Amino acid sequence: MPTGEIEIKVKSAQLLNTCKKLPFEIKDFVKKTEALRLQYRYLDLRSFQMQYNLRLRSRMVMKMREYLCNLHGFVDIETPTLFKRTPGGAKEFVIPSREPGKFYCLPQSPQQFKQLLMVGGLDRYFQVARCYRDEGSRPDRQPEFTQIDIEMSFVDQIGIQSLIEGLLQYSWPSDKDPVVVPFPSMTFAEALASYGTDKPDTRFGMKIVDISDVFRNTKVGFLQDALSKPQGTVKAICISEGAKYLKRKDIESLRKLAADHFNQEVLPVFPKANRNWNSPVAKSIMEEQRSELIRLMEIQEDGVVLLTAGEHRKACSVLGKLRLECADLLEARGLVLRDPALFSFLWVVDFPLFLPKEENPGELESAHHPFTAPHPSDIHLLHTEPKQVRSQHYDLVLNGNEIGGGSIRIHDAELQRYILATLLKEDVKLLSHLLQALDFGAPPHGGIALGLDRLICLVTGAPSIRDVIAFPKSFRGHDLMSNAPDSLPPEELKPYHIQVSWPADSEAEKSSLNQPYHPES
């Protein structure tokens, strides 16, 4: 104790307050459920870990402000949270107003406002912005969250990236290893091909390798099938020391995961170890293929290869998922693949501008948002092959988590109209104020938003973002301490001209309370 050597001689004492028996001891080693911690959040906040997390968060945000405001001339500007529905904003909370049938919405981000500020000549904007997203029940998501929101005029992708690298370096806690800049950068295509995801955890290898050429003459049925198709590939990852640390049931669970969640067959191969349990098919792999595999993937003693076949994106995705699962399994056996003291930042760039709509793949939707500028090299494709157009969007990834994203925006009103109306088939009337603003001499501009809760969670090593938020909601969106959301008497809804439509089924309320568990995508 820092005061351990001071002896206090008390002359008089005044009892300021008494304390009833606490529902749990505030000691780190006393295990308690998260529900109990959230119910008595004001007691849980006294724990060493919560004090450390919240104080670190405050200090880090303060350093970010100093960097932006004092060192780089940014202006901290508050934007409204009572706004209107944005096109496609299906996840926005609605707020009835006192005018019948008129609603505000809580915005998912200050995107429109920050672009309008650029038109308004406030050329370096930032805000620690509260944002809202109603996603129903999602573990480790919060209906309200905070982002470091930044926008600049006359800037390019490299300009924003350098700013953010400097920002993180400057604000990084002094008790952690310093941040090394610049951060490496990787295209979306490379991230997908090597890591099977747009947010690769680059703290460890186990990269995906295309081994299609090795298996051109294979007799293994599902590889043959895949390679006979025009887009067919064979892909693999190699688990170093896998044969030593992974058990038969581990490999079984990995294959089951691939089958259940991706409908993909995965074949384990032990190219150097003589243990082909669980992969009778592997016996059909010829010696020539085996040695080519060892050469191509640099396989060591005890290396295990997981291979799968199919269309490029799908094969990569399943191996990307298995790569993370393998890391979990190996770490559970005592290996360290992901050093907890290591912070591995990565820019992912050159995303596609559009994706086929999930519900109707013939139509396009924005991969990120409709204000993202196309890649300058691909503009000519907008009118001919829009699906091939890359964007000027960039994501910042930390240890396999997306902690930020941004883009250079469209500042040309005609281009924005073309993309909204012709390509995306959106109702441009809802965005007429933004289109009109671009018409009045909007400067080229771009920006980024960092997810503050996730960032602090990674910096502190907290198990959940709820541990870096003073008063978080449960994964069902409840405040377990105060019991929000709560019922309201009908007369309090009257001024807002709304009434509750009670579900016809009397069980409906109950079932809505027991929404299914949605794992994070």
Q: Which residue stretch of 19-27, 181-189, 380-388, 419-427 sits at the interface with a second copy (rule: CB under 8 A)?
A: 19-27
Smallest gap from residue 449 Cβ to a second copy (A): 16
Evaluate the CA torsion angle 283, 284, 288, 293 in order and state its sign. negative
Query: Using H for helix, E for strand and C for coil, what is the string for 446-481?
Result: EEEEEEHHHHHHHHHCCCCHHHHCCCCCCCCCCECC
Choosing from 76, 252, 288, 298, the residue that interacts with a second copy (CB under 8 A) is: 76
**Would you say 189 and 314 are in contact if contact means Cβ atoms under 8 Å apart?**
no
Q: Which residue stretch of 3-11, 42-50, 176-184, 234-242 sits at the interface with a second copy (rule: CB under 8 A)?
A: 42-50
List the one residue out of 215, 240, 209, 241 whose CA is nearest residue 227: 215
Binding mask 190-229 for a second copy (x = CB under 8 A): ----------------------------------------
**Would you say 203 and 346 are in contact if contact means Cβ atoms under 8 Å apart?**
no
Q: Residue 217: CB partners within 8 Å, gap ≥ 6?
A: none
Contact between 499 and a second copy by CB under 8 A: the answer reads: yes
Smallest gap from residue 66 Cβ to a second copy (A): 8
Instruction: Considering only residues 128 through 167, tell me which ones interact with a second copy, judged by CB under 8 A.
Output: 130, 132, 134, 136, 143-144, 146
Smallest gap from residue 82 Cβ to a second copy (A): 5
Smallest gap from residue 499 Cβ to a second copy (A): 5
Instruction: Considering only residues 434 through 463, tell me which ones interact with a second copy, judged by CB under 8 A.
Output: 437-444
List the one residue out of 110, 113, 108 whose CA is nearest residue 89: 108
Binding mask 90-129 for a second copy (x = CB under 8 A): x--xxxxxxxxxxxxxx-----xx--xx-xxxx-------
Choosing from 49, 52, 65, 170, the residue that interacts with a second copy (CB under 8 A) is: 65
Q: What is the C-alpha to C-alpha distance for residues 460 and 472, in angstroms, rounded to an integer?
A: 17
Smallest gap from residue 342 Cβ to a second copy (A): 28
Instruction: Considering only residues 254 through 313, tell me which ones interact with a second copy, judged by CB under 8 A.
Output: none
**Would you say 315 and 264 are in contact if contact means Cβ atoms under 8 Å apart?**
yes
Instruction: Considering only residues 462 through 481, tell me which ones interact with a second copy, judged by CB under 8 A.
Output: 469-471, 473, 477, 479, 481
Residue 59 dihedral angles phi and psi, to the nearest 5°: -65, -40
Smallest gap from residue 297 Cβ to a second copy (A): 47
Altogether, the residues listed in the chain come to a count of 521
Q: Count residues contacting a second copy (CB under 8 A)? A: 107
**Would you say 354 and 368 are in contact if contact means Cβ atoms under 8 Å apart?**
no
Contact between 71 and a second copy by CB under 8 A: the answer reads: no
Smallest gap from residue 41 Cβ to a second copy (A): 7
Choose between 116 and 306: whose C-beta lies nearer to a second copy.
116
Choosing from 38, 64, 67, 77, the residue that interacts with a second copy (CB under 8 A) is: 77
Contact between 22 and a second copy by CB under 8 A: the answer reads: yes
List the one residue out of 517, 505, 465, 443 whose CA is nearest residue 34: 465
Binding mask 384-413 for a second copy (x = CB under 8 A): ---------------------------xx-
Strand partners for 309: 234
What contacts 24+ positions apart, CB below 8 Å, involve 360-368? Answer: 363/425, 364/423, 364/424, 365/88, 365/424, 366/424, 367/391, 367/393, 368/393, 368/405, 368/407
Q: What is the C-alpha to C-alpha distance for residues 401 and 205, in angstroms, rounded to an integer?
A: 16
